[in-house]
Structure 1
Amino acid sequence: MKKNLVYLCALLCVLTWFTSCSDEKKSGADNAWKEISKDYNASNLSLGLVSTSGSVTVNALSADKATLVLNNVVAGESSVSVDAALTKTDRGYAFEGESAGTTCKVKVSGSIEDGKLTMAMNRTLTSALAGTLNLNYLPAMGGSQMAQVYAYFNTGNEQMDAMLNGMAAPQLGSMIAGKVESVMVNLGEDGSFSFSFKKVGSSEATVMPPAKLAEMIKSYLTWFEKDDVLYLAVHKDALTILGGLNILPEGFELSSIVNILSLEGDYYTVPINAQKDGEAITLFLGKTMITKVWTLLQPLLSNISDETIQSIVNVVGGVMNTAQDIKVGLVFKK
């Protein structure tokens, strides 16, 4: 009897040991998802063609659910949290999810395999600016027309301000109308942007960037709107490529271009104020940006031999130096 009890105890021990091992294996398989919870940055993060100085924080909640926090990865967003579904793969996990940021809706998909996160990302911008903006033209004397220009000057001199504010917009508008008969700005919901213009007497419009280049550079150019400011953004990788091509006009340095831009995450941006009034959208630059652009253009302006243009340049230069505030832009309609 005692011998049988010994055998029974031994059998129970063996069964317990096997059960314990089996549970550990199952536990190890079930808990594999926990290993993907960490920060992914430049060393183990891939976003396709472009590099990033941002990071993605993964917090796996279970074997089929995780939260991804995109830090300085989405243009215009410092942080976006995405609820994603997880799917087990042979080498790790695949994920897919979408969420809303302050400027756009973000959809992500990708994988976390061998300790590396690879992600594709699509943005759908929620800005009211999205769509096609057409430069507005107004009737002028003699049956002609002029582009609708927005101009405001504050030099501290009432007579000077009255003259500038009364003459600048119609004169600039007439000059533009004499050169181009239409201007369109296309701001895609997917973040793409382009503009086109048709010269007076031309049979077709000029599109920038050209269609054959648009697909190649779409990863580097984008836009977003925040707090009534339209930001045209270029990825820092694009400026690195541009600097290596040696195609800038004489007198232009890449560093000079970078100096007039603001760096937000991985993108250098040009801020353009956007004022909406019904169907009319006024896009204009303030004094700070105008001064930067004016300084950048000096090498080109100094090479113009036309005396009339040079006299205008001198007047504008004087105003730029003394004005307390300047706002210049164009009025578009959707």
Structure 2
Amino acid sequence: MAWTNKTFNSDFILLGIFSHSPTHTFLFMLVLSIFAVTFVGNSTMVLLIYMDTQLHTSMYFLLSQLSLMDLMLICTTVPKMAFNYLSGRKSISLAGCGTQIFFYISLLGAECFLLAAMSYDRYIAICHPLRYPILMSQKICSLMAASSWILGSFDGIIQGAVALSFSYCGAREIPHFFCDIPALLSLSCTDTLLFERMIFICCIIMLLFPVAVIIASYTHVILAVIHMGSGESRRKAFTTCSSHLMVVAMYYGAAMFIYMRPISDRSPIQDKMVSIFYTILTPMLNPFIYSLRNKEVGRAFMTLVGNCKSGK
């Protein structure tokens, strides 16, 4: 009997968030529209930064990595949710569940460290502009980005492997639209308290440490901006930094709400709503926040459109 309870003997069932009522059908179409906008927006950001030589700077390189992570994050959850909704099938295999866990945990962790690296980049650019080419050289910037990917992947491998090592009982119905670890652990037949504590410790490292770096960086930035003599320089610095702070507030706020609460205090409905925010809405908003408030990105976009019209 114990053998039949093992996760590798049966698929999981994703209960999803939509029924086939007219209202939910409209919401499903809205999510697909958001997915399309997110896919195009982040792909465009990566393409612009890659093609426009004037955007080959540390700040835009890190921004391209953020867009790439957002693109991969939304592709980890929405296509499977859409397939299950349209096909009427709700199952997901053990391998599929493990793949989702690995990618979304890895990408969330990588974005945490990348956002901290972006705040450090702004600190160096504003507080030490003369030393910026040295302190944020191409080699250092690439190392920061690579470290973010590696640390995020390491976290994804550990959490995914441990989560799927537990035994799961009953109908194996996950009350979510993707294999989220907290929702998965609620189905476990075994005691997961130790693992929950490990997740909490990981969250402290993956969330609070980068937040501390961001707070320290922007504290120095604000002090430097206040003492700037030029109003134009002050306005430009605040515009650049405010875009990043908006992304940080949305991303870290949602992630802390989900992963730094005990599982006993969780509500499936709340978790779904917040998960929609940071896995679907935030990846859509990021390119718009940076592009609408950035003249360089706008110039690069118009140049690309002009080249396309002229056939270059």
Q: Which has the higher strand share?
A: 1
| TM-score grouping bracket, smaller chain normalisation | under 0.3
Q: Rg bigger for which structure?
A: 1
When the two structures are superposed, what TM-score results if normalisation uses the length of structure 2?
0.27
Q: Which has the higher contact order (CA 8 A, sep 6+)?
A: 2
When the two structures are superposed, what TM-score results if normalisation uses the length of structure 1?
0.26
